[in-house]
Structure 1
Amino acid sequence: MDKSFSELYLNFDKVNWERMQEATFATLAMTVFSLVAVLILGFLLGLVLYSLSRKKSPAYSILYNLVSVISNIFRSTPFMILMVLIMPFTKAIVGTIIDWPAALPALILSAAPFYARMVEIALREISPGVIEAANAMGANSWQIMYKVLIPESMPALVSGFTVTAVSMIGFTAMAGAIGAGGLGSLAWSEGFQLNNQTVTLVATVIILIIVFIVQGLGDFLTNKLDKR
């Protein structure tokens, strides 16, 4: 006899809540640590890409294309493939290829170039007239960057970081399926493989709650910073 919906998905007695709590912590740890690194590295790489794109000499153009190609390689490689490819690198710097720290290098390498592109696009959208006005007042390149470009593009920077963060939460679930722990691992090992749909449902709901919180906070900050 086919099981009812409540028997399949709402049998909470089959959920190991202690393991669910540990998996939630692992997902949050993966997300927070990798997001801090992505914010720093992606922002700096975005500034480099923007600065190089404004230089007119052939040498700077070649350097921009080189950085752009390397960035696109990591940004375009599917996350699970990237995680498998860099396992020796992960083992060398983290000391393990299992548990949530093992997911950090792949998360950072995939998301930092993605955010860097968003930073570059946000900076390019600033009106040239604003930059020319700053030049006319005697501002140097560094002053234009931190007094004009970054403040003016802040709403777009925050919005881009929010999109990146939401994508990375999805990546943590995929990382869990190949040994990194977290809610994705629990949903796969105890949910799918053991046919425990309630575990899969609870893990999915927790991931969605995390996504909604991140998205809501990002939208709130974007609206606060947008002066238009």
Structure 2
Amino acid sequence: MSWLAPALQDLLVEALWDTALMVGASAAIAVIIGLPIALLLHATAPGGLAPNAWLNRPLGLVVNATRSTPFIILMVAIVPFTRLVAGTSIGTGAAIVPLALAATAFLARLFENALREVDPGVIEAARAMGATRMQIVAKVLVPEALPGLVAATTVALVSLVGFSAMAGAVGGGGLGDLGIRFGYQRFMPEVMATVVVILIVFVQALQSLGDWLVRRLSHR
């Protein structure tokens, strides 16, 4: 970054931190909320541990509706909710709200797919041994699906990096905001190029870490 002015270097470091904060915080929230939703969708589906169409269908519709809404539209649509939660609709803290909401719906479906990949025979064996539903979930379903859950989280993290850059277009802060304000609006291509390179490296690091964790969990 020696080709950038010291002031721009400081802004770049701050923007990188803001992006990491947005991605990390929203991903943590999405995992905490998305996994129970996925478990509920899986359990209440036909053939699940507790089939319940009256619960499964409405919940699935809500998840699908949120997931299918373009992120930039979702950000604008939930501005009142964002202000209620974060106290403002601008800045890094405010951007975490729509990022977490979008990631939760996205992860819920990815987690559900990972849970479906668990061998039904393992679950039936646990049932035959007298395990309760909660024991099956905690000691069989989630541990068996763990590599898939980690892979799904990696995909969500990579997507969140792109979403966070998009959030910069509407005052969300981070690298996207820096690239737009300086690289595009002030015609500073060196800033835009630096932002793009950092985002590529950031995404590659997340993907490599996720792939390594999946391999470790798959060979345990």
Q: What CA distance in whole angstroms lies between the structure 2 residues aligned with 1:56 and 1:146?
A: 15
Alignment equivalent of 2:73, drawn from 51, 75, 81? 81
Match for residue 122 of structure 1?
114
Structure 1 unpaired stretches of 5+: 1-9
Q: Indicate whether 1:43 and 2:38 are aligned.
A: no
The Cα shift of 1:62 comes to 2.0
The CA deviation at 1:146 is 1.1
1:227 CA displacement: 3.2
Rounded Cα–Cα distance in structure 2 between residues aligned with 1:20 and 1:123: 40
- The answer to whether 1:20 aligns with 2:12 is yes
Amino acid at match of 2:138: Y
1:66 matched to 2:58: yes
Give the letter for the 1:46 counterpart: A
Q: Normalized against structure 1, the TM-score is what?
A: 0.91
Decide which structure has the larger Cα Rg and report it.
Answer: 1
Q: Which residue of 2 aligns with 1:202?
A: 194
Structure 1 residue 14 displacement after superposition: 8.8
- Counterpart Cα distance in 1 of 2:27 and 2:101: 11
State percent identity of aligned pairs.
42
Given that 1:80 and 1:175 are in contact with CA atoms closer than 8 Å, whether structure 2 keeps it comes out as yes
Q: Does 1:211 align with 2:203?
A: yes
Residue equivalent to 2:162? 170
Counterpart mapping for 1:5-16 below 5 A: 12-13=4-5, 16=8
Name the SS of the counterpart of 1:109 in structure 2.
helix
Could you tell which deviates more after superposition, 158-167 or 45-54?
45-54
Which string of whole-angstrom CA distances, capped at 9 and with x for unpartnered residues, describes residues 61-92 of structure 1? 02100000001111110000000111111111
CA contact (8 A) 2:157 2:206 kept: yes
Q: Does 1:111 align with 2:111?
A: no
Q: Is the 8 A contact 1:14 1:198 kept in 2?
A: no
Structure 2 portions without partners, runs of 5+: none
Q: Which residue, out of 209, 220, 224, partners 2:216?
A: 224
2:201 is aligned with what amino acid?
I
> TM-score, normalising length from structure 2?
0.94
Q: C-alpha displacement at 1:13, in angstroms?
A: 4.2
Helix, strand or coil: the match of 2:57? Answer: helix
In the alignment, which residue of structure 1 is the partner of 2:151? 159
1: distance between equivalents of 2:177 and 2:111? 32
Moved over 6 A (4+): none
Q: CA RMSD in A?
A: 1.7
Instruction: After TM superposition, give the deviation of residue 11 of structure 1 in Å.
Output: 5.1
Instruction: Show the counterpart of 2:128.
Output: 136
